[in-house]
Amino acid sequence: MHDPIFNIFREETREHLKQLEQGFLELDTDANLTERARIVAKLFRHAHNLKGDARALDLDGQQQAATQLEETLEQLRDDPAAIDAESIEKGLSEFDLLQQEFEQWESTFLTEASAASEEQGAPPVEPSEMEQLVEDSALSLSTSAWGEDVQTVRVSSERLDRMLNLVGEVRVLQRSSSEMQRQLRNLRSRLDDLTRQLEGEVRLDLESLFNQVRRVETTLHHHETREQVLMQSLEDDVSAARLLPLTLLADSLRRPIRDLAKSLGKNVHYHVDVGEILLDKAVIESLRAPLMHLMRNAIDHGIENPQTRLTCGKPTQGLIHFRAGRRGGKVMIQISDDGAGPDFDKIRQQLLSRKLLSEAEIQGLSLEQLSEWLFHPGFSTTEVGDISGRGVGLDVVRDALQRIQGRIELDSHRGIGTTFTLVLPVTLSTIRVLTVWCLGQCFGLPSSSILKTGRVKVSELRSIKGTPVLQYEGEPIRWVTLADLLQLGRPRTPTESQYETYVVIRKESRTLAVRIDRIEEEREVLLKSLSFPLSGMPGVLGGTIRPDGSVQLVLDVSLNQIRRVSSRSGVFEIATSPKIPKILVVDDSPTTRAILRNVLAAAGYQVRTAIDGIDALEKLHAELPDLVVCDFEMPRLNGVDLTRQIKAKWNLPVILVTGREKEHHRREGLEAGADAYVIKSSFQGESLLDVVRQLIVE
């Protein structure tokens, strides 16, 4: 089972399943008959390839499930008018069965791969390591090819993380080189002073020594400049390699949104408009749960049922809009619905009944301030249900976003709808920080959370109900010390005439002034996660390396800390020889291409591959093989039409391979001029090689 072919099959099947689910959901929302026919034809090809790959690898469960789905789609392809809600539901049910079969097989595959690794004396393979092992194996299959250009490769995120860490280590060495250059400049300056003071031969010797130092300094400076340019280029490329299109995440929400709306008897249209926005893989992964929570809230308690919407003068179909764009160096995601919006009267009632605020304080709150209470832990204006409650869990959403240096804003209007705006970093690997000192220790504060830095005379601070405050933009804000926030011990007590250094930090809706000892510098740093016992510490984002090689913690002051203070793909290459027969393999399935390539390469043939009929024609014009092995079903130009063109132009022998066993398919292929017709399940036996040997004249 641990042939590298299975690794390619896993990656390819995941993509087929993703395209199938997305296609069915498009089918569910598009009423245009012509467009539906196009979508069904695309779905059929994915199901057909899945069936063929599963059959070639002798995976019965997946083959049977894919065959069932293929037959359903073939009927719809032949009769697009029969596409209705019932047939789409049937197709989705068959898709779910196929996905379940794949996931069960994949779980067994990874377990057995880990066990095999242990038996060979290697340490147990963790899931993340297993993913890397799988991808690395797939990568090894595409490192060389006879005449084929490899355009893309899969690299595990763990490997990219290690590469970024190495970049960080080199950055540290660069800073050390900069320090050496500074020392060299000081030495040259001292030599220069000494040379001016001395005369005669001694002076000449010192001038010679001075010239040598200057040449070394110049060379070192040139090397350092070139090194910085190259390292910046490498760092940018590695960081870019971790970026994924946001549309992957947006599209993955279509199915759960559809199913949830259907279960609640609501009609919801989900519209995605994210353009070509890219985000770091870690950001994408961290966003799925918060976004799904917002979607559940919107469907369950935001969008009204069809009858209520009609009464309110709205269309029966509700709308959820997923938009994204750029805002400076950040990415802005907006999730909006045209539902009822939060009930501000209920928010006021909750505040009063739970005695969180006095009646006078509640009446003085703006709508923005009332909305802010929805993000407080446990606060809700609805009864807790099976799906969600508007407000329940929004504190968790905010916390999840803060962990990735993001924030969330709420804009809602009663009866019109709600919009959540998420402001996020593109990547988590680098962060801009301000380095500050407190009680002899240095820390980094994210620049994105800092509104201002300054100095204030102690006598200018005021006190409100015993709490020290600083006047900021005409408003009093809480004055705290970083030492108190981090529980580092009691700082010194300043006199009235002394000046104190501070930074103004904006945390969610709270602004406060944090007293520090001094400010050092602001710079872009490579953020690294911390291991035990510092991992998971509240208020600590990670660590970075300072120019002197020491570790600096990067902080993200949490509200809990504030409250505490307040309360106290490719192919193999075979040795080139004019006597070795060449075979062109044409198939749009990477798994099938890999199987055919390996079988034929092991038999001593040179193998070249093409991804479809059009690609095959281009390769045939460049160089003719001795034989073409071609799939039956392919996009752009299928195997039957390709066979006709090959026979008309070059009269090469052609073997058609397919997972379709119906007689009319076999007859269609042979009538096109194919010399043989082979079923995919016999790839790894002798039947394919027997046919190849009969058709190739060596």
Structure confidence by residue, pLDDT tens digits, 387-398: 454 444 677 788
Is the model's pLDDT at 538 over the cut of 70?
Answer: no
d(CA 28, CA 349): 42
Q: Which of 84-88, 236-240, 684-688 has the highest mean predicted lDDT (pLDDT)?
A: 84-88
pLDDT tens profile 94-103: 999 999 999 9
Q: Give pLDDT, residue 266.
A: 92
Is the model's pLDDT at 675 over the cut of 80?
Answer: yes
Is the model's pLDDT at 576 over the cut of 70?
Answer: no
Q: Is 620 exposed, middle or buried (0-12, 13-18, 19+ CB in 10 A)?
A: buried
d(CA 334, CA 482): 34
Q: Give pLDDT, residue 654.
A: 92
Is the model's pLDDT at 312 over the cut of 80?
Answer: yes
Q: Is 11 exposed, middle or buried (0-12, 13-18, 19+ CB in 10 A)?
A: middle
Q: Which of 346-355, 405-414, 482-491 has the lowest mean pLDDT?
A: 482-491
Task: Name, in order, each residue with C-beta under 8 angstroms of 411's C-beta and a sequence gap of 6 or more.
Answer: 418, 419, 421
Q: Give pLDDT, residue 27.
A: 85
Q: Which of 15-19, 537-541, 609-613 has the lowest mean pLDDT?
A: 537-541
**Same fold: 4-140 with 245-425:** no
Output the six-digit token pair for 15: 């993509």
Segments making up each domain of the chain, as ranges: 4-140, 164-242, 245-425, 430-567, 582-695
> Within 10 Å of residue 487's Cβ, how many Cβ atoms?
9
Provide the pLDDT confidence category of residue 131 given band limits of 50, 70 and 90: very low
Q: Which of 215-224, 368-377, 519-528, 591-600 has the lowest mean pLDDT?
A: 215-224
Output the six-digit token pair for 540: 């600590």
What is the enclosing helix (H) or strand (E) of 564? helix 559-567
| Residues across the chain | 698
Backbone dihedral angles phi then psi of residue 669, each to the nearest 5 degrees: -70, -45
Q: Give pLDDT, residue 204.
A: 65
Q: Give pLDDT, residue 390.
A: 41
Strand partners, 488: none
Is the model's pLDDT at 626 over the cut of 80?
Answer: yes
pTM for this entry:
0.57
d(CA 649, CA 638): 17
Q: Is 85 exposed, middle or buried (0-12, 13-18, 19+ CB in 10 A)?
A: exposed
Does CATH number 3.30.565.10 belong to domain 245-425? yes
Is the model's pLDDT at 178 over the cut of 60?
Answer: yes
Mean predicted confidence (pLDDT) in 620-638: 88
> Within 10 Å of residue 547's Cβ, how many Cβ atoms?
15
Superfamily of domain 430-567: CheA-289, Domain 4 (2.40.50.180)
pLDDT tens profile 555-570: 876 555 555 555 543 3
Nearest to 588 by CA among 26, 49, 18: 49
d(CA 32, CA 45): 20
Strand partners, 694: none
Q: Give pLDDT, residue 572.
A: 33
Strand, helix or coil at 273? strand
Q: Which of 16-25, 163-172, 408-417, 546-555 has the lowest mean pLDDT?
A: 163-172
Is the model's pLDDT at 402 over the cut of 50?
Answer: yes
Strand, helix or coil at 589? coil
The proportion of the chain whose per-residue pLDDT surpasses 70, expressed as a percent, equals 78
What is the enclosing helix (H) or strand (E) of 307? helix 306-311
Mean predicted confidence (pLDDT) in 280-293: 86
Superfamily of domain 4-140: HPT domain (1.20.120.160)
Q: Which of 12-21, 233-242, 310-319, 364-373 has the lowest mean pLDDT?
A: 233-242
Residue of 156 and 185 predicted with greater confidence: 185
Mean predicted confidence (pLDDT) in 526-530: 73
Q: Give pLDDT, residue 381.
A: 62
Question: What is the CATH topology of the domain spanning 582-695?
Answer: Rossmann fold (3.40.50)
CA quadruple 657, 662, 666, 669: dihedral, nearest 10: -70
Q: Which of 233-242, 245-254, 460-469 has the lowest mean pLDDT?
A: 233-242
Is the model's pLDDT at 320 over the cut of 90?
Answer: yes
Is the model's pLDDT at 175 over the cut of 70?
Answer: no
Residue type, 502: Y
Task: Name, in order, each residue with C-beta under 8 angstroms of 236's C-beta and a sequence gap of 6 or more.
Answer: none
Long-range contacts formed by 500-503: CB under 8 A, 24+ apart: 500/455, 500/456, 500/457, 500/458, 501/453, 501/454, 501/455, 502/453, 502/454, 502/455, 502/456, 502/470, 503/434, 503/436, 503/445, 503/450, 503/452, 503/453
Residue type, 213: V
Mean predicted confidence (pLDDT) in 405-424: 88
Q: Which of 2-11, 201-210, 669-678 has the lowest mean pLDDT?
A: 201-210
Is the model's pLDDT at 525 over the cut of 60?
Answer: yes
Task: Name, in order, each residue with C-beta under 8 angstroms of 387's C-beta and a sequence gap of 6 or more.
Answer: 260, 264, 296, 299, 300
Provide the pLDDT confidence category of residue 55 given band limits of 50, 70 and 90: confident
Angle made by CA atoms 154, 159, 165, in degrees to the nearest 5: 145
Strands 654-658, 627-631: parallel, antiparallel or unpaired by DSSP? parallel
Q: Which of 242-251, 505-514, 670-679 has the lowest mean pLDDT?
A: 505-514
Q: Give pLDDT, residue 338.
A: 92
Backbone dihedral angles phi then psi of residue 226, each to the nearest 5 degrees: -65, -40
Q: Give pLDDT, residue 697.
A: 63
